[in-house]
Structure 1
């Protein structure tokens, strides 16, 4: 495995921080210490320090294939010891509202169907449909998200936002219609997958991390209800809310991270 230190003199495996969109990552790049930029696999990777930890910041890009490529590059080229993902998602669970945060317990590909050769949603040759988030890393992310949201002021637009833990579904489609959202929630629930949020990357990254034995955790800020208003809410939310959540929650997570992998 190739390893490129995140800063001069460091031989510690860095933590990778993935985001799908530049707006989600901007706040983290702005506070990165001793930054250096590396281009690899047609992507830009930012190496540096955050809260005393070596990190690599990268954009997964949009969709499962792009996200899997980026995750593989982080592991093979940069030798990261763990991957965390921050971004936005559409809310599917009935109690999940705009402004809430979902910290993943596990991930499923909602558009994977190799039936009748394998049961619907099952990933061929793995014997399961869902890949778990790393339990210890997920606990730290859950605690960090709760601390950050608890600090929101009463005048904040999302002062009453909550943190949820549960299943996140990924697929190569931006789910943005009420009928589609309801149908997706229904078919997943009927198959035993009580999903809270839907997005386009994390299940692919989770599968890559299982293959390499790398801890993975993810949080998603709910930007919309994956319904007919999704296209209206999305751009503003990413720029003005999700980017702050990413900076604050990941910063809190790194500040409390007990040692390096």
Structure 2
């Protein structure tokens, strides 16, 4: 079985994953450290995506061209958009869309030129496994109030932190559950390579005027633990290599 790639959006997530790997070794490519080793008995490569769509696309392309990867799991945080998607919840994407893609009038708004689509679907089996792993992780951590949501996640090169922008996104994309800055770029690269992928995000804020409050503390104290727990539960359920 080829390696499973685990891509973290935050340094705190990366540190939590590396601390759980018994044999990680760094491989440097394009200024990035890719950590090759084992996690929960599976052969993995773990890497920091960096922030934004271009950085995420570069990282994904390197994983798929240089590291013999069979699938990619992307983790991180997101701002909640839909009603009921609250801080501390987990969102598992079933599709990704670039909310700032607009090549109109040549193409419909949000459609990626020459692809004939705006949405890139995740792998259904991987997403179902991550949703179940997230529920198990939340139960283990004693967070019964937290929920796992599955649906559309949207990405753009802007940290959404104003109520007006939040409301505009909800009006334009009413089925969007959460907003972040990398997932749709990774989705497009995986589509090009024909490699299955999944995206799971911890909701760190409500993508409104209070989005910046205690963000770093939330990532360090909550999101990093969520990432480690759900990734380990997901890998534990996979067939032995």
TM-score interval (norm. to shorter): over 0.9
Distance (Å, rounded) in 2 between the aligned partners of 1:51 and 1:232:
34
Unaligned stretches of 5+ residues in structure 2: none
Give the root-mean-square deviation of aligned CA atoms: 1.0
Give yes or no for the alignment of 1:229 onto 2:229. no
- Asked if structure 1 preserves the Cα contact closer than 8 Å seen for 2:41 and 2:240, the reply is no
Deviation at 1:151, TM superposition (A): 2.2
Distance (Å, rounded) in 2 between the aligned partners of 1:212 and 1:181:
32
Distance (Å, rounded) in 1 between the aligned partners of 2:186 and 2:8:
11
Give yes or no for the alignment of 1:179 onto 2:164. yes
Distance (Å, rounded) in 1 between the aligned partners of 2:75 and 2:9:
8
Counterpart of 1:198 in structure 2 is 179
- Asked if structure 2 preserves the Cα contact closer than 8 Å seen for 1:223 and 1:233, the reply is no
Which one of 230, 238, 246 corresponds to residue 227 of structure 2?
A: 246
Distance (Å, rounded) in 1 between the aligned partners of 2:102 and 2:173:
12
- Asked if structure 2 preserves the Cα contact closer than 8 Å seen for 1:224 and 1:233, the reply is no
Distance (Å, rounded) in 2 between the aligned partners of 1:76 and 1:177:
38
Counterpart of 1:144 in structure 2 is 133
Counterpart of 2:5 in structure 1 is 16
Deviation at 1:259, TM superposition (A): 5.3
1:259/1:207 CA distance change after superposition, 3 Å? farther
**TM-score normalised by length of structure 2:** 0.98
- Asked if structure 2 preserves the Cα contact closer than 8 Å seen for 1:111 and 1:171, the reply is yes
Paired residues, number: 241
Which one of 97, 104, 107 corresponds to residue 118 of structure 1?
A: 107
Give yes or no for the alignment of 1:163 onto 2:148. yes
- Please list every run of at least 4 consecutive aligned residues from structure 1 whose deviation after the TM superposition is greater than 4 angstroms: none
The Cα offsets for residues 101-137 of structure 1, whole Å up to 9 and x where unpaired, read as: 0000000000000000000000111111100000111
Counterpart of 1:84 in structure 2 is 73
- Asked if structure 2 preserves the Cα contact closer than 8 Å seen for 1:25 and 1:246, the reply is no
Counterpart of 1:39 in structure 2 is 28
**TM-score normalised by length of structure 1:** 0.90
